[in-house]
Structure 1
């Protein structure tokens, strides 16, 4: 089996904020709603509870983010995705759900530093001064769909891999 490669091979930029690609990162899209086993299944894979609307629950290198009323983004180490999919299939057997590995279809960036919010404010229609830790926002970065949340001393931004270079360049230019 070949080694996974992130969208931009770890690209980084240092301006008034630091922009860096992180990854490869394991990601599973889980479509499910109102399942009696959902909480237990998510906890087994991420160690977190199912998040409330527009929230993300983080547990070390694992997380579960609310993406829509019936969609969650599970984040975990890349090497653990296959086992996580098996765990979800077992825990949710007989209940209507869909769990798909989207790890290689996404690009993930960190925007860090005291002025990280300023970088994102130039690109997304979000009031980052009011974005609370643990709040996940799905929006547009320029004209590209993205999800973002504040974590530690910065923000994590997830977009489609096909536009990864474009988003990285937007972030780097905004940090100049």
Structure 2
């Protein structure tokens, strides 16, 4: 079996913000009735995360759960643990309507970091999402587009954002972020 490699193999670049691929990240899509207490308990029994609120993130000991839609969560864990999480979640959710899929190798993850409002400046040039802090705050997730492709954005802090996209468009998203962060291209919106 071949060894897993990330979408752009750890590429990074610096402009008025820094753009870096996060490397291999474990990601498991979990679908089901988020309002069902049995569902919530089963997910907690494996992840040790409570269910996040709408557009929120819940952190456990080593995992994170991101709210992706009214019936979908994204579990973020160590890449090498993703398949074990799928097996454990499938067993815990047995008898309930659910879907649990390891999507780790189908996704790419990037981090954009910089000072002040620079991260929001760089990102706002390539997404139609409203990135004002009062609209998309720290610790919230937003599904949107990055230019022509779907992506999810999360602000981990005012100085760092995480972007998740399909692996097949990883190079496109990386290049897009690098171009949007060229020194001297700040627009002063935030």
What is residue 161 of structure 1 aligned with on the other side?
167
Q: Deviations over 1:111-152 (max 9, x none)?
A: 001111111011112232322111110011111100011103
> What's the counterpart of residue 21 of structure 2?
21
Matches within 5 A, 1:70-149: 70-114=71-115, 115-130=118-133, 131-149=136-154
Which consecutive residues of structure 2, in runs of 5 or more, have no partner in the other structure? 183-190
Q: Distance in 1 between matches of 2:119 and 2:42?
A: 34
**Unpaired runs of 5+ in structure 1?**
none
Normalized against structure 2, the TM-score is what? Answer: 0.87
In the alignment, the residues of structure 2 paired with residue 45 and residue 172 of structure 1 have an alpha-carbon distance, to the nearest angstrom, of 37
The structure with the largest alpha-carbon Rg is 2
Residue deviations 1:47-88, cap 9 Å, x none?
A: 321111111223465211111111111110011112111211
Equivalent-residue separation in structure 1 for 2:14 and 2:108 (angstroms): 19
Give TM-score scaled by structure 1 length. 0.93
Aligned alpha-carbon RMSD (Å): 1.5
